[in-house]
Amino acid sequence: MNLPNQEETVTADTFLRGLWEENPVFVMLLGMCPVLAVTNSAINALAMGLATTFVLLCSSSLVSLFRKLIPKQVRIATYIVIIATFVTIVDYGIQAISLDLYNALGAFIQLIVVNCMILGRAEAYASKQRLGATVVNGLGMGVGFTIALLCLGGVREILGAGSLFGFPLFAENFQPWVVMILPPGGFFVLGGWLLLFNWYRQRRERKLMEQQGASVHGS
């Protein structure tokens, strides 16, 4: 995507890339474990997304700041220590904010540390780019990740519990589709979203082809 060692200028694309074109969940399939595990309700999904975004932002800014200081041989070790630090901070932060939330997310807060997306950003982007670009890109990726989690969490909560963010949406006689908030539901809903995106992408490509075909004919 980026040529190595080339510092890019900050554009809207730096941010937007994370939302759609390189969406960490739907396109790159990175960091799947928390995506599936904690999205049984919208509020958990949101909290997890924000926590991950925070870790991503802080760790990639720090990596970007230190990028000239870090020798190649120990770079992964350095990144991991930096990431683990911020994850520990988030872990204690969430405990301080709400124990219920902490219990709902369980070990997955600490498992942010092995989220491939974060290490991937540090290695592929932050270690080569200036602070500004890193922050913007990291923010984009984080927001993209959060939106993806919300997409999953929202759908699963609506189908599986008949509510959204804890507010009931349906009348009393709504029979929740319980399997959606159980583990298999995670796989099904994510698979469903991917199907939707595949379908959309293929349709767009087909249209593009038709347009090109038409213009060739017209000329």
Partner 1 sequence: MAAESLTFIFLNAAIINNFVLALFLGICPFLGVSAKRDTAWHMGLAVIFVMLVSSVSAYAINWLLIRFDIQFLRLICYIAVIASAVQLVEMAMKKFSPALFRALGIFLPLITTNCAILGVALFQTFREYDFLQCLAFSLGAGVGFTLALTLMAGLRERLELANVPNVSQGAALTLMLAGLLSLAFMGFAGLGGQHA
Partner 2 sequence: MNQTSAPQSAELVAATPSFAMLRTLGLVAGLSGLLVVLTYQITLPLIEENKRIAIERALFKVIPGATSRRDFVATAQGIVAADDRAAEGTLVYAGYDEQDRLVGVALEAAAQGYQDIIRILYSFDPVCQCIRGIEVLKMAETPGIGDKIAKDPVFQENFVELDARLKADGSGLANDILMVKHGTKSEPWQIDAISGATISSRAVARMLNDSAQQMVPKIITYLDRLRDPGREKE
Which positions lie near partner 1, rule CB under 8 A? 29-30, 32-34, 36-37, 77, 80-81, 84-85, 87-88, 91-92, 107, 110-111, 113-116, 119, 179, 182-188, 190-192, 194-195, 198-199, 202
Residue ranges in contact with partner 2 by CB under 8 A: 66, 69-74, 76-78, 80-82, 84-86, 88-89, 92-93, 95-96, 98-100, 103, 160-161, 176, 178, 181-182
Residue 84 Cβ, how far from partner 1 at the closest point, in Å? 4
Please name every residue paired with 167 in a beta bridge, in sequence order, or none if there are none: 164
List the single partner that 74 binds among partner 2, partner 1, none, CB under 5 to 8 Å by kind: partner 2
Q: How far is the CB of 129 from partner 1 (least distance, A)?
A: 23
- Rounded to whole angstroms, how far apart are CA atoms 21 and 144? 10
- C-alpha 186/C-alpha 40 separation (Å) is 8
| Closer residue to partner 1 (CB): 82 or 133 | 82
CB under 5 to 8 A by kind: which of partner 2, partner 1, none does 198 bind?
Answer: partner 1
H helix and E strand count, the chain: 8, 2
- 86 and 58 in contact (C-beta within 8 Å)? yes
Longest Cα–Cα distance in the chain: 67
Contacts 24+ apart (CB under 8 A), 86-89: 86/54, 86/55, 86/58, 86/59, 87/55, 87/112, 87/113
Contact 91, 108 (CB under 8 A): no
Which of the listed partners (partner 2, partner 1, none) does 56 bind, with a CB threshold of 5 to 8 Å by partner kind? none
Minimal distance, residue 95 CB to partner 1, in Å:
11
Instruction: Pick what 111 binds: partner 1, partner 2, none; C-beta below 5 to 8 Å, kind-dependent.
Output: partner 1
Which of the listed partners (partner 2, partner 1, none) does 199 bind, with a CB threshold of 5 to 8 Å by partner kind?
Answer: partner 1
Cα dist. 36→20, 75, 190, 213 in Å? 19, 30, 8, 41
Q: How far is the CB of 217 from partner 1 (least distance, A)?
A: 25
